[in-house]
Amino acid sequence: MIVAGIDVGTQSAKAVVYDAERKNIIASGSMAINLISTEGGVREQKAEWWIDAIKGCFDQIDPAIKKEVSAISVSGQQHGFVPVAENGKVLYNVKLWCDTSTANECSILERSFGGEERLFSECGNRILPGYTASKILWFFNNHKDLYDRMKYVMLPHDYINYYLTGKAIMEKGDASGTGLLNVRTAKWNKELCDAISPSLIDKLPSVIEEPAIIADILPAVASELGLSESCIVVSGGGDNMMSAIGTGTVKDGIVAISLGTSGTLFSSASYPVVDKKGRLAAFCSSHGTWLPLLCTMNCTVASEVFRKQMGLSAKEFDAEAEKAPIGSEGIVLLPFLNGERVPDLPKGEGVLGGISIDNLKNSNIARAVLEGVTFEFLLGLDAFKEHGMSFDKAILTGGGANSPFWRQLVADITGLQVVVPAIKESAAFGAALQAYAVASGISVEDVCALHVLYDESKDVSPDFENTVRYKAVYKKWISYVSNLESLFR
């Protein structure tokens, strides 16, 4: 069977075609996507950019291969708010997951609903700046005329499904990232929706709880993309949910770390994991379980900014970092360049501290950047431990996983064996595997057991002496966060 997966991220769209019998990707395409970035934390895109990028991806694939695709599934960046009119028109720019301009609306919603404790009790999550709920309230307050014309609230992957099929539907994994879903029941919380507007509940699509076929692809869209009109569209999910499938993180006892634009750490769980300290998001998965997840807003964002400032390539930046000792001779980076989700500092800023006359070197700064970004994952591992979850290894994915130095750094800081999937595009690949599972009637867990392979040449074991040394460095990093976070409130 030949299947395809689409991933629409913040920086680019990707499409992969997977031959399930041969267990390899036989074609792929990618296209960059622009970003609207302005003061006040505004991060937006236009929905039509995604469609243009998807078309560009499929234009790069052999027409004969495209005609063989029997099922397709979509991965999309989570939390983006796509307001869609009855005629299918998108009414406003899409506010993205990394948009922190609606932080005040988060506080308003939490107070209206009765505070953090009630949110954890009745929904499972707080309302954080990245989530969709505060964006909808902002839209209601600032563009009421457009809000009244809105027929559907969609997320990025929902909108692409709508483009492919004409059907407006959500699935519980991505829907749980809106902040409006009770993650225990996979039902919208009407009272929380009413805190935005009594009409909102009618603008939210119905939620499906298991991966399923949405519909056949629309004939006109099949023609645009070069696909067969008999190609089915499977429900898909958010990028983290699809990455869980693409990395094989689909059962208890497995943890994955993604070193991408954002940094994520997640595990599959057979029960909802509600972390009242707010480190782990209590998301649902897109394979029928739950997906407790830590998300940071600055991962390769930080390394890219600093390496470009130094005029170095990625390999040169890693080589520079490798020259410095553990702890970067006392230099500390708080990598909150875009604000931060965990810790919850939407108005956060990057802080480079611990500088002296003797330690101000590019090598120390480079290493401090990678150490600071990686330390944030320990917040999530500590949370998992408190919830009775433990791991022996971490599955590492994302662009940062290509770096041998960073792989070793992750292993040493976490104390976990690190393995890397053989197929790098975990979100697009996960979408393809979900499509294959549904089309063939096989469980997602069984599909992953057969099809998710790892590149043994990239396996890394921790140096436990270094792990012990890093505990002291992490303690210093945490003290910087604790003492400076009041500046960002």
Q: Which of 158, 239, 318, 344 is catalytic?
A: 239
* Alpha-carbon separation of residue 331 from 135, 263, 343 (angstroms): 37, 21, 20
Catalytic-residue membership of 358? no
Residue 468: exposure state from Cβ atoms within 10 A (0-12, 13-18, ≥19):
exposed
Q: Are 117 and 84 in contact (CB under 8 A)?
A: no
> Pairing between strand 350-353 and 393-397?
unpaired
How many Å apart are CA 188 and CA 122, to the nearest integer?
A: 11
- Residue 83 phi, psi dihedral angles, 5° rounding: -85, 115
The helix, strand and coil proportions of the chain, stated in percent and rounded to the nearest 5, come to: 45, 25, 35
* Alpha-carbon separation of residue 394 from 200, 291, 305, 313, 474 (angstroms): 40, 15, 26, 27, 19
How many Å apart are CA 462 and CA 407, to the nearest integer?
A: 10
- Ordered DSSP codes for 362-396: HHHHHHHHHHHHHHHHHHHHHHHHHTT---SEEEE
Strand, helix or coil for residue 25:
strand
Helix (H) or strand (E) holding 150: strand 150-154
How many Å apart are CA 212 and CA 435, to the nearest integer?
A: 9
Instruction: Identify the DSSP state of 218.
Output: P
Residue whose C-alpha is closest to residue 171's, from 306, 74, 55, 66: 74
* Alpha-carbon separation of residue 103 from 45, 46, 282, 296, 345 (angstroms): 19, 21, 20, 16, 10
* Alpha-carbon separation of residue 330 from 274, 317, 364, 371, 468 (angstroms): 35, 19, 8, 12, 16
Catalytic residues: 239
